């Protein structure tokens, strides 16, 4: 049957999301969900919208949410595009900018989905490795054609993805560097800001200075709404105009549009949630360092934990046996580590306790 399927699809592995056990079966610290309940305004908005009825199509642009985002970030509504989660926006971006055989650049290690999007599009991937201190090499913003390449499609760099803060490291590339990069690049630079609400700064105001910068956001992490599926993107109106032709006509449903407007309007909820997550993140970082892990300073709602002296996959297994899921990741040529999402204080403490127990047992059996 494979002969009926496009070869690009047959050849690709496909993105594998983190495990989703059934409710109550494990403490999930593996997909960077928010451990707290979303703003009550969200639940009220969903109930109200459902009561009013769902027989009509939603506004195709999500105009009310566009206006809410525009107010919040001091941009104009025609600079905002709504998406069914930010993964939907990343798909729209790839389809809008990158043609078959052309080049899409991404850093590595980073979000694995970008690669799958390029593969579906039949595009080529230019993976550029971070330095070991999680800074980016200058090649990240070079034009393949000006460094000696010809004009064949595989030298046509059409789009660059950069998650900031990055996953799995939680580290950030500073704003000045991003502006410098965007100006040098021959194509748009997509800043995937899925975790920016947990960071010190973000790039939305850079769009005014350099209109090649596009910023994507999601409600999945910092608004505790991963189950809802809503994200938005901010970009120059000339890009939004083109992307509107590519998106599904009704890519966001009435319930998620109502919920998103409500969530975005509750700035107090977001600020308080952020404070809680940041406080727990600092404790998690210190305790893991105390146990001998290398942990870069994170500006996201997770930490990246590695060590030289032992494999970490058995720690992942041990946690799983005890009802705690974290994300084990192994990047070819880079090594492996555990990405641990920030849960409640209680969940996070218990997870680190278990890791401590594992290390003690291991030390005893070795001596």
**Contact residues: ligand PLP, CB under 6 A:** 32, 85-87, 111, 163, 167, 192, 194, 218, 220, 226, 231
**Measured from the CB of residue 347, what is the shortest distance to ligand PLP in angstroms?**
19
> Residue 102 or residue 193: which is nearer to ligand PLP going by CB?
193
> Residue 249: how many CA atoms within 13 Å on its side-chain side?
2
Least CB distance from residue 273 to ligand PLP, whole Å?
16
Of 33 and 102, CB closest to ligand PLP: 33
**Cβ closer to ligand PLP: 98 or 252?**
252
Q: How far is CA 301 from the centre of its chain?
A: 11
Task: Name 168's bridge partners.
Answer: none
Between 85 and 144, name the residue whose CB sits nearer to ligand PLP: 85
Residue 215 CB, shortest distance to ligand PLP, in Å, is: 12
Cβ 231 to ligand PLP, closest distance in Å?
4
Helix, strand or coil, per DSSP, at residue 289: helix
CB of 338 to ligand PLP, least distance (A): 16
C-alpha–C-alpha distance, residues 139 and 128, integer Å:
8
CB of 93 to ligand PLP, least distance (A): 12
User: Whole-angstrom Cα distance, residue 336 to residue 291?
Assistant: 17
Query: Which residue, 144 or 170, has its beta carbon nearer to ligand PLP?
Result: 170
Instruction: Please say which residue, 15 or 318, places its beta carbon nearer to ligand PLP.
Output: 15
Cis peptide preceding 168, ω within 30 of 0: yes
Strand partners, 124: 103
Q: Residues 211, 198: contact at Cβ < 8 Å? A: no
Identify whether 165 is preceded by a cis peptide bond (ω within 30 of 0).
Answer: yes
Cis peptide before 109 (omega within 30 of 0): yes
In order, the DSSP letters of 157-194 are EEEEEEESS-TTT-----HHHHHHHHHH-SS-EEEE-T
DSSP 276: H
Q: What are phi and psi of 280, to 5 degrees?
A: -65, -35
Residue at token pair 């389809």: 95
Closest to ligand PLP by CB, 105 vs 287, is 105
From the list 232, 81, 87, the residue with the least C-alpha distance to 161 is 87
Residue 212 Cβ vs ligand PLP, minimum distance, rounded to whole Å: 20
Q: How many residues does the chain have?
A: 367
CB of 265 to ligand PLP, least distance (A): 19
**Residue number with CB closer to ligand PLP (87 or 119):** 87
Matching residue, tokens 């991003």: 178
């Amino acid at each position: 049957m494979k002969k009926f399927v496009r070869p690009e699809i047959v050849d690709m592995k496909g993105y594998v999301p983190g495990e989703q056990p059934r409710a109550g079966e494990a403490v999930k610290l593996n997909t960077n969900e928010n451990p707290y309940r979303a703003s009550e305004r969200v639940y009220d908005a969903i109930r109200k919208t459902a009561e009013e009825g769902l027989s009509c199509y939603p506004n195709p642009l999500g105009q009310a949410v566009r206006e809410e985002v525009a107010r919040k970030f001091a941009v104009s509504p025609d600079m905002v595009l709504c998406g069914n989660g930010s993964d939907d926006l990343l798909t729209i971006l790839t389809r809008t900018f990158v043609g078959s055989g052309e080049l899409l650049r991404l850093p590595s290690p980073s979000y694995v989905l970008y690669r799958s999007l390029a593969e579906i599009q039949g595009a080529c991937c230019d993976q550029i490795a971070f330095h070991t201190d999680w800074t980016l090499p200058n090649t990240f913003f070079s034009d393949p054609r000006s460094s000696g390449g010809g004009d064949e499609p595989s030298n046509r760099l059409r789009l660059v993805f950069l998650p900031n803060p990055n996953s799995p490291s939680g580290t950030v590339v500073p704003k000045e560097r991003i502006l410098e990069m965007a100006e040098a690049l021959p194509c748009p630079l997509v800043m995937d800001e899925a975790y920016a609400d947990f960071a010190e700064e973000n790039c939305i105001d850079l769009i005014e200075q350099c209109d090649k910068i596009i910023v994507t956001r999601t409600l999945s992490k910092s608004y505790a709404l991963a189950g809802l599926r809503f994200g938005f993107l901010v970009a120059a109106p000339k890009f939004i105009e083109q992307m509107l032709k590519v998106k599904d006509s009704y890519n966001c449903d009435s319930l998620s549009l109502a919920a998103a407007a409500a969530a975005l309007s509750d700035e107090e909820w977001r600020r308080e949630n952020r404070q809680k997550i940041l406080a727990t993140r600092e404790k998690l970082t210190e305790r893991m360092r105390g146990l001998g892990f290398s942990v870069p300073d994170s500006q996201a709602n997770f930490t990246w934990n590695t060590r030289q002296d032992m494999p970490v996959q058995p720690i992942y297994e041990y946690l799983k046996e005890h009802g705690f899921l974290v994300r084990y990741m192994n990047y070819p040529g880079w090594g492996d580590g555990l990405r641990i999402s920030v849960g409640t204080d209680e969940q996070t403490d218990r997870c680190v306790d278990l890791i401590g127990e594992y290390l003690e047992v291991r030390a005893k059996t070795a001596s």
